[in-house]
Amino acid sequence: MNQPGSCPVAHGAAAVSSVAPNGCPVSAGAAAFDPFGDGYQQDPPEYLRWAREQEPIFYSPQLGYWVVTRYEAIKAIFRDNLTFSPSIALEKITPTGPEANAVLASYGYAMNRTLVNEDEPAHMPRRRVLMEPFTPEALKHHEPVVRELTRMYIDRFIDSGRADLVDQMLWEVPLTVALHFLGVPEEDMDTLRRYSIAHTVNTWGRPRPEEQVAVAHAVGNFWQLAGQVLDKMRQNPDAPGWMQYGLRQQKLHPEVVTDSYLHSMMMAGIVAAHETTANATANAMKLLLQHPEAWQALCEDPGLIPNAVEECLRHNGSVAAWRRLVTQEAVVEGVRLPAGSKLLIVTSSANHDERHFGDADLFDIRRENASDHLTFGYGAHQCMGKNLARMEMQVFLEAFTRRLPHMRLAEQRFSYVPNTSFRGPEHVWVEWDPAQNPERRDPTLREAQTPLRIGEPSAHAISRPLVVQALQPVAEGIVQLTLTAADGRALPRWAPGAHIDVVCGDTGLSRQYSLCGDPADATQWQIAVLREPHSRGGSAWVHGQLKVGDKLQVRGPRSHFRMDESAAELVFVAGGIGITPISAMARRARQLGLRYTLHYCGRLRASMAYVNELQALHGEHLQLYVSEEGRRLDVAALLATPSAGVQVVACGPERLLQALEQACETWPADTLRVEHFSSTLGTLDPAKERAFEVELKDSGLVIPVRPDQTLLQALRAANVDVQSDCEEGLCGSCEVRVLAGQVDHRDVVLTRTEREANDRMMACCSRACGDRLTLAL
Ligand code: FMN
């Protein structure tokens, strides 16, 4: 590890003469970094690949900023908004000359702090009082407007066969939605449009000296117009709209919501709600049409749209970078930064960081963690309008895929308004054959709509069509399914212990099944399903309904159950159908040449899957315990003598897992890793539960959790994104970090020591023992 303060980069011969403020020579790559050049404009993450790999933070002499490129570092910077102040987020990246400044002054331009660039302690009280209209519940009212506008604009060009999506729709619709949301009358749209472009160039671009004056006039006009509109709103403060909401809040909290604040927010709000969404959708359409298989998948299954939106925001979002000011000496990526250093945190580069997103450059609309992207920022300053943007993008994509599924990109070279932060092509030309418009055959398609979910996408919506290639009994009551991709493409790789979620036709059920084939085989997946005698419907459906050749919707794979490949010895224990994940793990241990034993128990040999295969593969590493044959696993004897470095990895019936838990009590912490196939969680009984509050450290919020709500539900209602999957305390997806307060754990994922450590919890089921918990969210 580098000593903080010493430069982590071996500049060597590559170093050029200039020197960073910490005295370190600037590397050739850093010296050449030009955020206004074509390389950065066309593809920021690609342009910064070298930095992510070799010099994750570097000083750009041209900008006078430190440039940060990796995911964890950028998230940590967002998390600590005291050390890394947002105060320079809207500062002009290229300072304007005296003439332009005089022009701005002549308009009385007095852009003040807004939510985006304000420090604590002023920021959070304002954010809290202005937040309510952004919650998913409140945003529902805007959905019909977005749908209607989308329909109207597409109507205008649907018969022409060619359109520039930006000029003919994507610029104006988000602007109109922004105006609706803010409560602004729709007049002056063209003027506002020109002004808001000027504002981007003024703040994030590098206007030439002769352009600066014209830009300053436009920004000055924008400022004055915003003031006039706000005055108009004061006449009718009960009208719907965020600004009117702000005016009403001003009455209650005059010291928090000031006049100058509202004036600045009005202008910043238009830019924030308009350009970001317009650009994000333009990027998304370009990306999707450049990946016809992804576009096709959305046309066939609109349920994929919410996650596709996240993947578009990750892969090619409309906010490429953001800024922070270092307020006290800090160490980032091993480099000591003095107070006063300016940071350009390139979120678009973080979104392509292999350390966080597997196969990061791959555009995969089914990506499990797509919504972890940092395009909306993170923490106390996370984009408040994120769910409005998501909703708009979903509506646009839903309408385009339904009404113009045969659309394709026309030949063109994409151009961008040069600036460091806001990014989207100025034009996206598309073409199609109007004679093939589906609504000419079926006019109802014009009005049809898929319901959308406001908020972050649910993992439940991301499914992958697979085909049942083979169905084969592998033991009494157990059938093995071999599944291949419906489009014949390679399947994602998975780690032993991973499971998939199988959607059981139209029963409304989905069930988890562990992958038990060869993880390296990207052509097929295998699962083995036991028909439960008291089936709630899932396993009965698999056994009773599925046939070879059927299409199956599957989600995942997900990996919450992992073995430690660095353990000195692995003891695998499987009971009954619990052999499925364990067999994949044992195969891996064998491949890696690790020390391991496999203990496999069951009642009847005939009801135990894969006995012969396991014997052939594992030989003497395998111990079989067939109770009807008089051999039972004595867990206490197996684990009689605690030993360091051993990991026990188990899956099977509750009784077996409990016995293992008991036997491991005297063993080193976390010796045992288990997976439960069924939950012990009852339904939430409001009569028995207590309310509590959670304080969210990273976002600065306090959220009440009612007795009839889970923590997960309360977080989502307050606009906080948390992943989830099974929502039964089984899978581990919704884990959140706990900083203070005692947790009442209800899941079956955490081990005893993990529970006792009290530093994380499953938001879907666990609660507080007391009145309050503090979470790292
Ligand atoms: N059941 C199996 O038969 N085979 C499996 O490989 C399997 N893996 C599972 C993995 C996980 C993570 C979980 C939570 C459960 C797993 N199950 C497995 C249990 C099934 O998901 C399901 O609960 C079972 O088929 C009974 O469903 P039913 O009552 O609807 O029939």
pLDDT greater than 60 at residue 251: yes
The CATH number of the domain holding residue 606 is 3.40.50.80
Q: For atom 30 of ligand 1, which residue has the closest CA?
A: 538
Residue type, 26: V
Residue pLDDT, tens place only, 253-273: 999 999 988 998 888 888 888
Distance between CA atoms of residues 304 and 297, nearest Å: 8
Least trusted range by pLDDT, from 70-74, 96-100, 194-198: 194-198
Tell whether the model's pLDDT for residue 470 goes beyond 80.
yes
497 in a domain, yes or no? Answer: yes
Looking at the DSSP bridge assignments, the partners of residue 472 are: 480
Please tell me the predicted confidence (pLDDT) of residue 201: 67
Range of the domain at 738: 692-775
* Cβ of 577 less than 6 Å from ligand 1: yes
Nearest to 650 by CA among 559, 729, 583: 583
143, containing H or E segment: helix 143-157
CATH number at residue 698: 3.10.20.30
What confidence category does residue 646 fall into, taking pLDDT thresholds of 50, 70 and 90? very high
Residues 149-162: pLDDT tens digits? 999 999 999 999 99
pLDDT digits (tens, 9 = 90+) for 392-443: 999 999 999 999 999 999 999 999 887 778 889 999 999 999 999 999 999 9
The per-residue pLDDT of the chain, averaged, comes to 90
Atom of ligand 1 nearest to the CA of 516: 6
Are 234 and 179 part of one and the same domain? Answer: yes
**446, 473, 506 — which closes off a domain?**
446
Contact predicate 555/459, CB 8 Å: yes
687: in domain = no
Number of domains in the chain: 4
Instruction: Tell me the chain's radius of gyration from C-alpha atoms.
Output: 29
Ligand 1 midpoint to CA 492 (Å): 21
**Per the domain annotation, does 685 fall within a domain?**
no
Query: 647 in ligand 1 pocket by Cβ < 6 Å?
Result: no
Flag whether 38 is in a domain: no
Maximal C-alpha separation, the chain: 95
Residues 253 and 124 in one domain: yes
Residues 170 and 135 grouped into a single domain = yes
Residue 765 · residue 681 · CB < 8 Å: yes
Pair (105, 254) in one structural domain: yes
Peptide bond preceding 418: is omega within 30 degrees of 0, i.e. cis?
A: no
Residues 579 and 506 in one domain: no
Confidence band of 7 (pLDDT split at 50, 70, 90): low
Q: Which two tokens stand for residue 385?
A: 């309008």
129 is a domain residue = yes
18 lines ligand 1 (CB under 6 A): no
Q: What is the pLDDT of residue 736?
A: 92
Pair (414, 501) in one structural domain: no
Is residue 2 within 8 A of residue 334, CB to CB? The reply is yes
- What's the CA gap between 374 and 87, in Å, rounded? 19
Distance 499 CA to ligand 1 centre (A): 10
Q: What is the pLDDT of residues 347-377, one digit of tens each?
A: 999 999 988 887 899 898 988 789 999 999 9
pLDDT (0 to 100) of residue 270: 84
Angle, nearest 10°, between helix axes 209-235 and 259-290? 120
Q: What residue has token string 């105006």?
A: 179
Distance CA 169, CA 278 (A): 9
Mean pLDDT (whole number) for 636-647: 93
- Nearest one of 672, 659, 601, 663 to 632, comparing CA atoms: 601
Tell me: do 412 and 321 sit in the same domain. yes
Q: Is residue 262 domain-resident?
A: yes
CATH classification of the domain holding 514 = 2.40.30.10
Ligand 1 binding pocket includes 535 (Cβ within 6 Å): yes
Residue 424 lies in a domain: yes
Q: Are residues 548 and 634 in the same domain?
A: no
Residues 6 or more apart whose Cβ sits within 8 Å of residue 666: 642
pTM (global) more than 0.90? no
Ligand 1 center to residue 581 CA distance, Å? 11
In this structure, the answer to whether residues 533 and 479 fall within a common structural domain is: yes
> For the domain that residue 118 is a member of, what is the CATH number?
1.10.630.10
- 56 part of a folded domain: no
Ligand 1 mean position to 746 CA, how many Å?
19
pLDDT tens track for 692-735: 999 998 888 899 999 999 999 999 988 888 877 778 888 787 89
What mean pLDDT comes out for the span 683-694? Answer: 93
Return the pLDDT at 617: 97
Given the cut 0.90, state whether the ipTM is greater than it: yes
Query: Is residue 514 lining ligand 1, measured as CB closer than 6 Å?
Result: yes
Per-residue burial over 607-618, b if 16 or more Cβ lie within 10 Å, else e, is bbbbbeebeeeb
Q: In the structure encoding, which two tokens stand for residue 319, read together?
A: 């906010």
Task: Answer yes or no: do 305 and 214 share one domain.
Answer: yes
DSSP state of 444: G
Q: Which residues lie below 8 Å from residue 772, measured CB to CB, with a gap of 6+?
A: 692, 693, 694, 695, 740, 741
pLDDT at residue 549 in the model:
97
- Final residue of a structural domain among 649, 675, 701: 675
Residue 202: the pLDDT is: 67
Q: Fill in the DSSP letter of residue 465.
A: E
CA dist., res. 46 & res. 315, Å (int): 11
**Same domain flag for 415 and 487:** no
Instruction: Based on the fold, state whether residues 579 and 500 are members of the same structural domain.
Output: no
Q: Which of 446, 479, 507 is the last residue of a domain?
A: 446
End-to-end CA distance of the chain: 28
